[in-house]
Chains A and B, each alone.
Chain A
Amino acid sequence: MMAALFFLLFLMVLFVMMGRRNVAIFLFLINLGLSIAMTMHHVTETLDINL
């Protein structure tokens, strides 16, 4: 999953290089959402709580 997040970032930089600004911003937002989900997963796992 972590590798997939970095791969999405890699794709995002490629789209910036190709001049596809909107696609890059879309990937940015998808990545941010997934990263927040990963952080919440880590928080609930380490604290052993349910949110």
Chain B
Amino acid sequence: MKLSNAINSLWILIYCSIIAAAFGVQIFAHEEPCPLCYLQRIGMILVSTGALLNLHFGLRNSHLALSLLGALFGGSVALRQIAIHACPGSSTFGEPIWGLSLYSWSFLTFIASIFMVILLLLVYQKEKKGFTEIGAGTKFVTLIFLFVVAANVVSALLTCGLGAC
């Protein structure tokens, strides 16, 4: 397995596990996600999509640009939520984990994603364009990612219905 494929797979799996952990908090701690929380999940999925495109079609600058767009969007939403709750006297949303709220952790993951894009740009080597061969590892990662996105569709339908949330 190439280094870039390993990095991209790891990147997707880390984000899938973060979203799964958020589901854990939602289901077991009975903390319903807010609209900004859902928008941060969308940001995480958008970032992972760039990595998924890298896995399926080879490492390209355009895919990394999409990941960067997703990270900037998600990071700004997380920063917005931090700003809402950072004022003195206002409470945090949800229970902090290891001293930080979930949206603060989310902001840190988006910053880490921006550094991941930089790392991939450093190892970037122009590849022959075309459909790259899809291995079993890529299929496995893609199916896990698809399952996480489908779970979010169901969760958003149950908590927000068809409205704006």
Q: Are chains A and B native binding partners rather than an unrelated pairing?
A: yes
Q: Which A residues are closer than 8 A to B by beta carbons? A: 1-7, 9-10, 12-14, 16-17, 19, 21, 24-25, 28, 31-32, 35-36, 38-39, 41-43, 46
A31 adjacent to B42 (CB under 8 Å): yes
The secondary structure that dominates the A interface is helix
Q: Interface digits, B33-45 against A, CB 8 Å rule (1 contact, 0 not)?
A: 0011011001101
Given A2-B164, A31-B46, A9 and B149 touching (CB < 8 A)?
yes
CB of B10 within 8 A of chain A?
no
A14 to chain B, nearest CB (A): 7
Q: For chain B, residues 124 to 165, give those with C-beta under 8 angstroms from any C-beta of chain A.
A: 131, 142, 145-146, 149-150, 152-153, 156-157, 160-165
Q: In the complex, which range does the number of interface residues on chain B fall in?
A: 35 or more
B149 adjacent to A24 (CB under 8 Å): no
B70 adjacent to A2 (CB under 8 Å): no
